[in-house]
Amino acid sequence: MNIERMETKQRMSRIVKHNGVIYLCGQVCADATQDITHQTQTMLDKVDSLLVQAGSDRKHMLSATIYLKTMDDFAKMNEVWDNWVPEGYAPARACVTADMAREALLVEISVVAAEIVD
């Protein structure tokens, strides 16, 4: 069983790879003082970077779980999401409300993707 952990700390690894599947830890925005649109975009920018680092990309996402502080932000988050996901490559997705680790956070995402095989 080959498990590769990247950027591992005491509580979690940012990336775990196993049998061609990539698991990203929860990602949040770069600046929690911004609105939902900015928080969502910078969160997804982080996902892009981690997927590339792990050997994948948006077109290889298998699933995404999005956590919103309030469903009042659902439409605005989806505007950013819809522009980010390549047409025809939408992953299985769930979106739920959740208490956030920090009060200012409005959105978090957890992603599972397939590794790109040459």
Domain limits of the chain? 3-114
Contact of 104 with 63, CB cutoff 8 Å: no
pLDDT at 96 > cutoff 90: yes
Q: Write down the pTM of the prediction.
A: 0.94
CATH, domain range 3-114: 3.30.1330.40
Q: Are 40 and 81 in contact (CB under 8 A)?
A: yes
Model pLDDT, residue 118: 76
Cα distances (angstroms) measured from residue 30 to each of 45, 50, 117: 9, 14, 30
Residue type for position 65: T
Q: Evaluate if residue 1 carries a pLDDT over 80.
A: no
Q: What is the mean pLDDT of the chain?
A: 96
The pLDDT value recorded for residue 117 is: 87
* Residues 34-77 pLDDT 10s: 999 999 999 999 999 999 999 999 999 999 999 999 999 999 99
Strand ordering across the sheet containing 107-114: 3-8, 13-18, 21-24, 107-114, 61-68, 92-97
Greatest distance between any 2 Cα atoms in the chain: 43
